[in-house]
Amino acid sequence: MRFLLTVLGTHGDVLPFLALGAALRQRGHEVLLSAPAPFAALASRAGFPFHAVGTQDDFDRAVGNPRLWHARRGIEVAFGYGLDFAREVDRWIEANRTERCAVIASSSSFGARLAQDRIGVPTVTLHVMPMLVESRHAPPRLPGLPLPSFLPPQIRHWLGRGADRYVIDPAVLPRLNAMRAELGLPPVRRLRHWWNSPTLVLLMFPNWFAPPQPDWLRHAVQVGFPMADQFGDTSDLGAELRAFLDIGEPPVVFTYGSGMSQAQTFFRTARATCELLGRRGIFLAPRPGQIPSDLPEQILHLPYAPFSKLLPRCAALVHHGGIGTVAQALAAGIPQLVVPVAFDHFDEAQRLERLGLGRTLRRRAFTPARAAHAIRCMIGDARMQSACSAAAARVAAEDGVRGACDVLERLITRPQAGTVPPGPFPTAQVQGYGAAYDRLGPGIQSLS
């Protein structure tokens, strides 16, 4: 079976696709990957034929745009990037499809849904963020919409719909529908309905982190987190980092995401926070110009380190709230302080707080004194430490990538697999494989 994987975004978006593609390839399937140009080397290391979406300059312009990191305006930049290359991705899918073929696409890879509507190629939408799944019973927290938690869920959902009408849809639908009109396709009325493929929606976050809701898509299947940092720039800590970890108490790690290019204030505050705490720190920032030039010897700056090896040796993590970073800290069993910026960051922060796994501070409230107090409280909170250990055990018991592969193989082995199903099938929860996976059987059968 040939799988065409298409994703747009930064490391946190692309790494799950690399992990899934590598697992499918190990099972004997053919895998092709379409992603932004900077990820060509990672795709080559994984052994995939790679299609570069845009150029390095295109990618740098998008992630370097200050509006990308605005709570409300970031949607315009991120989705605009997806629209810029929608037809290119659509054509790539058409050129590489075979008789036995399926597309696995990120939510912002609009070209995949165009290809599905235009030429009927079977498509699986992969969501790694709970925020992307709507619910009247448990509405996600949207960026730039700080609704109080005491409001009834139905009211928060209704107010959240305004984000579609006044922010998301106006930023996308005029260009998208003009594109669709040129292709002879009907207009899309609401983006957050259309981006979900009618074939299958794969939710790559576990049900203990985002419990399934009665009004979730009936053809959605939920698996565990896609732990994927082994596909980063290195799988080893390196001599400098190993030596730093070995000579003192566990440090606090600070990172603001691989794509952030306006993190100067964050790291200046982080430097002062380490001084107030009297603790060592590790600053992770791959993009130049983000880190103060006068770091003391108790703070180490690196462009990258594999979280799965680093975080278990650290005391806490302070970060932006990206879902991939959240998952790695959960796996390490350490508390998290989230300073959200945009996109799903606010929603992930809220989920961590509700589960007793961390704290959150607004960007304007992220001062050395407040950050030091929050970190000190997290490290000294026995209940939070116990909750983090329990979360780590849960993550260790799951295998989201393997569960996703099981779902995909179960889908394609059914008669007439690859056709859009005649009707939806019940939401299923898969925490890897075995008995829990057997619950998928009746639902998947409705695809044949």
Q: DSSP for 39-75?
A: GHHHHHHHT--EEEES-HHHHHHHHH-GGGGSTTTHH
The pLDDT, as a whole number, for residue 1 is 92
Q: What is the mean pLDDT of residues 204-230?
A: 92
> 132-141, 294-303, 404-413 — which one is most confidently predicted on average?
294-303
pTM of the model: 0.88
Percent of the residues in the chain that have a pLDDT greater than 70, as a whole number: 88
CA-to-CA dists, residue 392 to 128, 136, 318, 329, 397, angstroms: 19, 30, 17, 8, 9
Q: At what angle do helices 74-84 and 56-64 cross, to 10 degrees?
A: 160
Q: What is the pLDDT of residues 91-112, one digit of tens each?
A: 999 999 999 999 999 999 999 9
DSSP annotation of 433 reads S
Q: What is the pLDDT of residues 150-177, one digit of tens each?
A: 777 777 776 777 677 777 888 899 999 9
pLDDT-derived band of residue 434, with 50, 70 and 90 as boundaries?
very low
Strands 358-360 and 428-429 come out as unpaired
**CATH architecture of the domain with range 2-225+398-441:** 3-Layer(aba) Sandwich (3.40)
CA-to-CA dists, residue 422 to 82, 120, 209, 446, angstroms: 29, 14, 31, 8
The torsion angles phi and psi of 280, rounded to 5 degrees, stand at -75, 155
**Range with the lowest mean pLDDT among 53-57, 114-118, 233-237, 314-318?**
233-237
Which of 144, 195, 143 minimizes the C-alpha distance to 173?
A: 195
Instruction: Spell out the domain ranges in the chain.
Output: 2-225+398-441, 232-397
**CATH architecture of the domain with range 232-397:** 3-Layer(aba) Sandwich (3.40)
Choice between 440 and 315, residue whose per-residue pLDDT is larger: 315
Which of 198, 156, 193 minimizes the C-alpha distance to 172?
A: 193
The pLDDT, as a whole number, for residue 162 is 64
DSSP annotation of 230 reads G
The pLDDT, as a whole number, for residue 12 is 86
Amino acid at 96: N
Across the chain, mean pLDDT equals 87
3-state secondary structure of 415: coil
Which of 308, 304, 305 minimizes the C-alpha distance to 290?
A: 304
Answer whether 2-225+398-441 and 232-397 agree in fold: yes
Amino acid at 412: I
The C-alpha atoms of residue 378 and residue 365 are separated, in whole angstroms, by: 17
pLDDT-derived band of residue 359, with 50, 70 and 90 as boundaries?
very high
